[in-house]
């Protein structure tokens, strides 16, 4: 099997291009996806290759083009709708929540909505409150939506291909800060299954559970903990909904402790859902209370120093690992 080193943005572009080649019903629509080659260059070269009928520039009207995409999906096309930022999906929330998520149910199964909404989610570098929100907890609250947030090029390509082929609406979350991250991936076609977590590092003392861009600080924390003789297991959820409960529980039964890390907020977040699931199914296996490391309960500041303190840090992750390891009943 051949290998290639690609940036995450290129892995996403390959996934889109391959699926457009495979299925003439797949098309891309969003702000600046065509003439400008994409705000983050994910769709670079696709207009030249596929033309304006399959790579469609839109006005700044998320509610309009999200609705257009849902209608197209209902009639048999497979749209990939790019939001320049998932913060802008709030303008289209009525379409995503009221229509994309519910039409299959409300039509008694007569209309499927095979659509992918994709784009950057969470914090970037100093873009402040209105461009830094993590949306996964909000949208995971809605039955009918699949929510995916890969952390690397390999998973991004394989999961995006799976998302495009899925007959349900998928929210495919990316990180602006990760678009330039490089990784070796196969040159041959491959898929990554939706709903399957990945054990990044195996360990026996404590389980770290995270997703998306927070895999990086968690990996740094695992390395630092290893220097102290602590073997941490790291799980990258990859798919938020459906959640891979089996992988989480098998790890907890081995380590008996868990720290859950997410870029989003504490209250009613993904970490809260994961923690409840653990205590519901593996309560007898826990040797310490579950710990969470989340974004501080504030809108994202603009200041670099405050931004850093607002997001989970390696030091905070290690602090909570030590807290759970030192707990005694």
In the numeric block, which tokens belong to residue 149?
């947030």
Residue 205 backbone dihedrals phi, psi, to 5 degrees: -95, -35
Q: Which of 10, 131, 133, 136 is catalytic?
A: 131
In the numeric block, which tokens belong to residue 194?
């939706």
In the numeric block, which tokens belong to residue 317?
């992750």
Question: How many whole angstroms separate alpha carbon 64 and alpha carbon 192?
Answer: 31
Q: Which of 62, 233, 273, 291 is catalytic?
A: 62
* Burial class of residue 112 (count of CB atoms within 10 Å of its CB; 0-12, 13-18, 19+): middle
> In the annotation, is 131 catalytic?
yes
Q: Is 176 helix (H, G, I), strand (E, B) or coil?
A: helix
Q: What stretch of H or E contains 224? A: helix 215-227
Question: How many whole angstroms separate alpha carbon 188 and alpha carbon 115?
Answer: 25
Q: Are 69 and 81 in contact (CB under 8 A)?
A: yes
Q: Is 115 helix (H, G, I), strand (E, B) or coil?
A: coil
Q: Are 142 and 97 in contact (CB under 8 A)?
A: yes
> In the annotation, is 273 catalytic?
no
Q: Which residues are catalytic?
A: 62, 131
């Amino acid at each position: 099997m051949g290998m290639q080193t690609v940036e995450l943005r290129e892995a996403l572009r390959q996934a889109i291009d391959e699926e457009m080649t495979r299925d003439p019903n797949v098309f891309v629509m969003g702000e600046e996806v065509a003439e400008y080659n994409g705000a983050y260059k994910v769709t670079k070269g696709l207009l030249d290759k596929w033309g304006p009928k399959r790579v469609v520039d839109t006005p700044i009207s998320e509610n309009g083009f999200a609705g257009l995409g849902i209608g197209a999906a209902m009639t048999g096309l497979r749209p990939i709708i790019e939001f320049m930022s998932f913060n802008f999906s709030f303008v289209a929330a009525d379409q995503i929540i009221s229509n994309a998520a519910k039409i299959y149910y409300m039509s008694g199964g007569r209309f499927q909505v095979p659509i992918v909404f994709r784009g950057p989610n969470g914090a970037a570098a100093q873009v402040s409150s209105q461009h830094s929100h993590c949306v996964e907890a909000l949208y995971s609250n809605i039955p009918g939506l699949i929510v995916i947030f890969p952390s690397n090029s390999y998973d991004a390509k394989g999961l995006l291909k799976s998302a495009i082929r899925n007959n349900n609406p998928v929210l495919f979350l990316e990180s602006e800060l990760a678009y330039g991250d490089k990784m070796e991936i196969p040159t041959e076609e491959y898929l990554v299954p939706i709903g399957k977590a990945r054990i990044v590092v195996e360990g026996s003392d404590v389980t770290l559970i995270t997703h998306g861009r927070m895999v990086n600080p968690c990996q740094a924390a695992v390395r630092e903990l290893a220097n102290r003789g602590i073997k941490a297991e790291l799980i990258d959820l990859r798919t938020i909904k459906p959640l891979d409960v089996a992988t989480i529980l098998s790890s907890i039964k081995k380590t008996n402790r868990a720290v859950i890390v997410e870029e989003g907020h504490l209250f009613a977040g993904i970490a809260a859902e994961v923690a409840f699931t653990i205590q519901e199914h593996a309560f007898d296996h826990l040797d310490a209370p579950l710990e969470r490391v989340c974004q501080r309960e504030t809108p994202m500041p603009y200041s670099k120093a405050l931004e850093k303190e607002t997001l989970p840090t390696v030091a905070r992750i290690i602090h909570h690992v030590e807290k759970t390891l030192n707990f005694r009943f």
